[in-house]
Copies of this chain bind each other. A is one copy, B any other.
Amino acid sequence: MGSIISDSQEARLLCRRNQLTNTAGVAPGYLQANLLVLPAKYAADFHDLCLRNPVPCPLLGVTAVPGDAKSIRPSQCIKSKDFDIRTDFPRYRVYSSGKHIDSRCDLLDAWTDDHVGFLIGCSFSFEDALMAAGLPPRHQKTGTIVAMYRSNIPLLPAGVFTGGNYIVSMRPYRPEQIERVREITRLYRSTHGEPVAWGWDGAKELGISDVDKPDFGEAQRFEEGEVPVFWACGVTPQIAVEAASSNIDGLVFAHEPGHMLITDWTSEDLQSLKPGSI
């Protein structure tokens, strides 16, 4: 894996040259970001959606001016002047009317003067912290994809984005580990923070009747006595865009799942970084 890559700018340049794919474990300590790119006329509504739903949709940065692919605000998110949102993710997806129509290594041809990009926090960051605390997420140990479910928590509407529920990811833990797991992930406010629900009652409250049948990712193995712990998941903003697809003209872009941007935010910025301030 890429754990020998320790610098965020180095990692972005490798992505630009398509020499990196899955970014899990790359440049530990740097926060990784999901991408969503929309035509400018929907940008204010999507920004509002993130501010109103900061737990599933925590903002790490936004392109500063419509059409400008090279600068992100706030500037602490990407400090280098040598940056391009159209190339510095390892891989991208193209959506039309809510449907995934293409995957590609860059957005150079597809990006227009009218596009605005949003960088959204990703749970890779708090997984590092859980591992460091001796509480590794099961899917990391088994080499599977985290289990994700459609929950019944509604996204609070914002402008054209009026539908969709939270997607939640699930990691099994023993009941006596939950308070520590909550404490560790709480600080990661800009990457979903602490769990939204836990335990078998928590699953029921979220409307999840069978944890062995995730809606995305892979079912996780429970060991003796373990219960599910659920976090808000960064797939949620894509669900919001899908739900609004009949109201959206023009192409929408996102990252390819697992293929994130390495930002210059570090885990040391987390205490002061508030997802609702961007």
Contact = CB atoms under 8 A, between A and B. Distances in A.
Interface of A: 48, 51-52, 54-55, 153-154, 156-159, 182, 186, 189, 193-197, 205, 232, 274-277
Contacts of A158: 186, 193-194
B52 A52 contact: no
A154 B205 contact: yes
Given A193-B52, A277-B274, A186 B159 contact: yes
A55 B277 contact: no
8 contacts: A48-B194, A51-B189, A154-B196, A154-B205, A156-B232, A157-B197, A158-B186, A159-B194
Number of copies: 2
A194 B157 contact: yes
Given A51-B275, A159-B186, 11 more contacts: A48-B186, A51-B54, A52-B55, A52-B189, A54-B276, A153-B153, A153-B154, A154-B205, A157-B194, A158-B186, A158-B194
Residue among A159, A274, A276 having the largest count of chain B Cβ atoms under 10 Å = A276
